[in-house]
Chains A and B, each alone.
Chain A
Amino acid sequence: MPATRPADVLHACGIPFEASTEALGDVVRLESARIADALAALQECGFDFLVDLFATDTGERLEVTWHLRAFAEHADLYLKALVDYDGAAPSVWQTYPSALYPEREAAELLGMTFTGHPNPKRLLTTDGTRPLLRKSVLIRTAEEVRRPS
């Protein structure tokens, strides 16, 4: 664990959170509105690298995950926040510039927005494509993929 524990840092900032250790690793769940403050504070205390940012569809809401790493302490931390369908999470690119591309990817594939993103265009798909990673967007059936012979 880092010299300053992430829980202490978040406590000091007055950010409500829920910490747990899951199969994924150390997970901290918090409100999406406070994520920018939390990431800024954690970067100060040694989590200097954003490994990845991704989102999943839980079936009820979207869960955005920020994967942080502190190289000096060899520690990983996952921050998770729930966002409504077509909802918004704050962009963290000013804290971690490496969030720029994954934010665009998550935004188009899950149908959400990152407020404050400087270039909120699509990254992988063309305009009009549905949010492909949502559970409501179904894969093609056997009949649909069959080619007319």
Chain B
Amino acid sequence: MLIKELTDLNGVSGNEKEVRDFIKDKINNFCDTIKIDSIGNIIAYKKGINSKFKVMLSAHMDEVGFIVSGHTDKGFLKFKPVGGIDDRILPGKRVLVGKKRLCGVIGSKPIHQQEKDEREKISKVKNLYIDIGAESKDEAEKLAPLGEFISFDSEFIEFGKNSIKAKALDDRVGCAVLIEALKNSFEFDLYACFTVQEEVGLRGAQVAAYNVMPDVALVIEGTTCADVPNVEPYEYSTIQGNGAALTIMDRTCICDKELVQFLHDVAVKNNIKVQYKQTTSGGNDSGQIQRTGTGVKTASISVPCRYIHSPVSVMSRSDYESVERLTIAALNQMSKNKDFLKSLSKLTSGKEQLTK
């Protein structure tokens, strides 16, 4: 399964090569050119039948993880998070260090050595360390030099009727959708951008979008899902099993209203389950893409992921399928209905405004 293959790869922000090489190989036969830009994005171009418009699909290849920041005298690794990670989930987790995937575990001071107030507090990253079985500082430095990237070690598992657990669902699900989309042909020019460094500040997408200067962009993502105990329904953000999640507004972007409505209509028409994301927190590449050049009509379609940014992200297979189907159905609809693309991409001309 494509998502299994993708989530088994390690690609912490700034170190996406493994993912990039895999994707390049997968899409090679389905596009006209593949460009790797200076920051490391893949920009896969598929010429349209009647290429008047440029549509950009975007999914980020990177995942949250860690980086080696020091070594103790006894050979433990000190580390820093790369991207947003909840400190509470760290103690006791397995990690993979560096290209050779050295086994490591995140440890902390044993509970019976902790003072009462220490027990009640959450262990901060600075008080944690990674044990890679090294016996000295020298050995640790050799095995895991400063700056080495570290990923969660977590297997892809299918469980229950419809659930999948893995690390890095955010945003390998998006990568999978882009790979599938490239297998289709459209009227417009399609640019599938697999971006880097989203988790540390939407960095790759900024240059990818500048390069492409698209008329329309769809960002395919894994997003937060808080439909769990002790959360009020109005705080759920998305609901697992309720289908593809459309963003109206988040911290980085107010999505193009017309485009969001279009996506919703396409979903309804094709019997694809769809929901609106019901909180305005979080952000993704759409924030950067939207404000590129003279502006890009942008929207995002996401797979709800519980426990996102952890080694045990959980999603529903049917939600993934909804996102994949909706993305491709929307592209097909844009392909058929050129007037829609035209209305989105058009700068309303001076004359038209003046005579209105």
- A and B interact: no
